Amino acid sequence: MTTLSPPTMAGRPAAPPPRKRSTRRRSWVGWGFIAPFMVVFALVFLAPIAYSIYLSLFREQMVGGTSFVGLDNYQRAFDDPKFWEALGRVSLFLVIQVPIMLGIALLVALAIDSGRLYGKNFFRIAIFMPYAVPAVVATLMWGFIYGSRFGLVGNINDTFNVSLPNPLSPDLVLASIGNIVTWEFVGYNMLIFYAALRVIPHSLYEAAEIDGASQLRMITAIKLPAIRGALVIATIFSIIGSFQLFNEPSILQNLAPNAITTYFTPNLFTYSLSFSGQQHNYAATVAILMGLLTMVVAYVVQLRGMRKEA
């Protein structure tokens, strides 16, 4: 349990530091307000995690039953090429897809916030809309679009007599997944950035305008620093999302079974271990390792994000 609350992480909350602290009295009153959240949280997150840690110390076999194995499962994970392959893949995904997605989201948020768009309300809601589409539905849509025979890719090939590479081939499937994730979450992140931009006091802009600052200068000098908190938290949530990549590859697996292995991402790996393989103990081990690793990366990102601010 103690590993779950690294003191270092708590040192600097990701939120922009609230400005006034005069109302803060150190008392238990605050707990009264946060307790309902924490109680449910303990039930649906902490308890299963504690149970998983416990499970990770055992091994259950179809023949032979359950035995205590100490840290053997962790040793096994460190020696398991599938685990490392999966981890490598999501890391690659992380360093490429997350910057693209957040970049587009930020640009769109800035564009909408600038007030220079025609019909910005429509833009905002329409770009957010993919977030509302359930995974099952997204399967059907992207399955159609990626289909190189009867799908949109196939139609383009036939119409223009070209041969686009198959988006579901082993070489391209990660990029295709990145595209779906980007599609789903650009609007979501855009809305977070937009919300943060809206709370920037307009007096700042007016002052800058009187000083004759350009649009670009206003963005770099006022807007971006002001929403740094939102950028950091969006990055952290995206890192978590990348490391937990599951829905999209799991769905596309039906269409591209040979390109997406059962250990394509760490989360698919734990799923396959746990559900097809009945290896709950090893699955729990991999999950805990991934959790620890994600926290470390998130923490590093947060430290960097905050240092720039200082």
Partner 1 sequence: MAATTTRTRRPGPALRQRRRRPHSVNHPRRSTLLTVLTGLVLVYSLVPLAWLAINATKTQPGLFDSFGLWFDSDFALWSNITDTLTYDDGVFVRWLLNTLLYVVAGAGGATFLAVLGGYALAKFQFPGKRAVFAVVIGAVAVPGTALAVPTFLMFSEMGLTNTPWAVIIPSLISPFGLYLMWVFAADAIPGELLEAARIDGASELRTFFRVSLPLMAPGIVTVLLFTMVATWNNYFLPLIMIKDPDWYPLTLGLNAWNAQASTAGGEAIFNLVITGSLLTILPLIVAFLLLQRYWQSGLAAGSVKE
Partner 2 sequence: MTKTARRALRGVGLATVVALGLTACGSDDGGSGDAGASADEVTQALEEGGEITVWAWEPTLGQVVEDFQAEYPNVKVNLVNAGTANDQYTALQNAMQAGSGVPDVAQIEYYAMGQFSLNESITDLSGFGAGELADSYSPGPWSAVQANDGIYGLPMDSGPMALYYNKDLFDEYGIEVPTTWDEYLQAARDLHEANPNAYMTNDTGDGGFATSMIWQAGGRPYQVDGTEVGIDFSDEGSTRFIDLWQQMLDEDLLAPITSWSDEWFQGMGDGTIASLATGAWMPANLESSLPDGAGSWRVAPLPQWDENAPASAENGGSALTIPDASSKKELAYGFLQYANAGDGVATRLENGAFPATTADLNSEEFLSTEFEYFGGQRANEVFAESAANVADDWSYLPFQVYANSIFNDTAGKAYVSNTTLAEGLAQWQDASRRYGEEQGFTITD
The answer to whether 44 and 272 have CB atoms below 8 angstroms apart is no
Whether 185 contacts 101, CB under 8 Å: yes
Residues 195-234 that bind partner 1 (CB under 8 A): 195, 198-203, 205-206, 209, 229-230, 233
Question: Stretches 1-9, 53-61, 102-110, 111-119: which one binds partner 2 (CB under 8 A)?
Answer: 53-61
Q: Which stretch binds partner 2 (CB under 8 A): 61-69, 86-94, 117-125, 213-221?
A: 61-69
Beta carbon nearer to partner 2, 175 or 296 = 175
Contacting residue, 77, 184, 263, 283, with partner 2 by CB under 8 A: 263
- Determine which residue in the list 3, 5, 8, 61 makes contact with partner 2, applying CB under 8 A: 61
User: Which option in partner 1, partner 2, none does residue 225 bind, with CB closer than 5 to 8 A by kind?
Assistant: none
CA–CA separation, 71 and 165 (whole Å): 45
Give phi and psi for 66, each to the nearest 5.
-105, 140
Tokens representing residue 17 in the block: 């530091």
As given in the structure block, the two tokens for residue 13 are: 């909350």
- Indicate which single residue of 72, 100, 157, 244 sits in contact with partner 1 (rule: CB under 8 A): 244
Interaction of residue 284 with partner 1, rule CB under 8 A: yes
User: DSSP string spanning 282-298?
Assistant: HHHHHHHHHHHHHHHHH
Using the contact rule CB under 8 A, the part of the chain among 62-70, 76-84, 166-174, 261-269 near partner 1 is: 261-269
Closest CA to 165 of 155, 150, 153: 153
The distance of closest approach from Cβ of residue 146 to partner 2 in the complex, given in angstroms and rounded to an integer, is 10
Angle between helical axes of 81-113 and 120-128 (0-180°, round to 10): 170
Q: Which amino acid is at 174?
A: L
Which of the residues 22 through 41 are near partner 2 (CB under 8 A)? 35-36, 39
Interface region with partner 2, contact rule CB under 8 A, candidates 20-28, 106-114, 196-204, 258-266: 258-266
Q: Which stretch binds partner 1 (CB under 8 A): 10-18, 70-78, 168-176, 256-264?
A: 10-18
Residue 247 makes CB contacts below 8 A (sequence gap 6+) with: 135
Question: Which region among 22-30, 42-50, 190-198, 236-244 touches partner 2 (by CB under 8 A)?
Answer: 42-50
Site for partner 1 in 60-99 (CB under 8 A): none
The binder of 92, among partner 2, partner 1, none, by C-beta within 5 to 8 A per type, is none
The CA distance from 37 to 43, in Å, is: 10
Are 98 and 235 spatial neighbours (Cβ–Cβ below 8 Å)? yes
- How far is the C-alpha of 37 from the C-alpha of 47, rounded, in Å? 14
Q: How far apart are the C-alpha atoms of 162 and 169, rounded to whole Å?
A: 17
> How many residues bind to partner 1 according to rule CB under 8 A?
123
Asked if 64 touches partner 2 (CB under 8 A), the answer is: yes
Residues in the chain: 310
Site residues for partner 2, 158-197, by CB under 8 A, read 169-170
In whole angstroms, the minimum distance from the beta carbon of 51 to partner 2 comes to: 5
- The verdict on 276 binding partner 2 (CB under 8 A) reads yes
Host H or E run for residue 20: none
Pairing type for strands 58-61 and 65-68 reads antiparallel
Question: For binding to partner 2 (CB under 8 A), which residues are involved?
Answer: 35-36, 39, 42-43, 47, 50-51, 54, 60-66, 140, 143-144, 147, 149-151, 169-170, 254-259, 261-263, 272, 275-279
